[in-house]
Amino acid sequence: MGVNKRASVLSGTIFTERNEKELRFIRVYDHYRRDYFKVPTTPKFYSLHDSQIHRVSQNAIKEIIENIRIAKDLGPRFKRKWPETTNQMYGWFPELLVDIDKEDCRFYFPKKETEITQFGLKALQCKKNKR
């Protein structure tokens, strides 16, 4: 018996054994339906039977809505003293640590336009001229 033949017979027996175990222990369902007596893994807020809203008092609902409004209107800077992420650090503290002398051109050199904005302005002017 050659090596290839032995390997194919061995792999065939492994596959048949695995298939028999899967048929014995794993059940595959073709038709799915809801089990109304089972608690869902992730509740859906828009679903009537999964909703917890009927168990919550009206005062709690008003408090939740007020908290959402405050969080939306005020933003993260008023909710926390320090930024949570690195992206929030930019612009979190608007005061400068060191005063800048705006007359000294060595340290203060703001650009009025970048190359991208100059290109965009030229493109817009060309569009206006073509009309």
Q: How much is the pLDDT for 13?
A: 86
Name the token pair of 127.
Answer: 């569009």
Task: Give percent of the chain above pLDDT 70.
Answer: 83
**Cα R_g (the chain), whole angstroms:** 33
Q: How much is the pLDDT for 32?
A: 73
**Residue pLDDT, tens place only, 38-94:** 776 776 767 666 665 556 677 888 888 898 888 888 877 777 888 888 888 777 777
Residue pair 83/92 in contact by the 8 Å Cβ criterion: yes
Find, among 25, 44, 26, the residue nearest to 34 by Cα.
Answer: 44
Residue pair 108/102 in contact by the 8 Å Cβ criterion: yes
Find, among 77, 79, 51, 54, the residue nearest to 67 by Cα.
Answer: 79
**Residue pLDDT, tens place only, 18-45:** 888 888 888 777 777 777 777 767 767 6
Q: How much is the pLDDT for 49?
A: 62
Residue 39 and residue 50: Cα distance in Å, rounded? 8
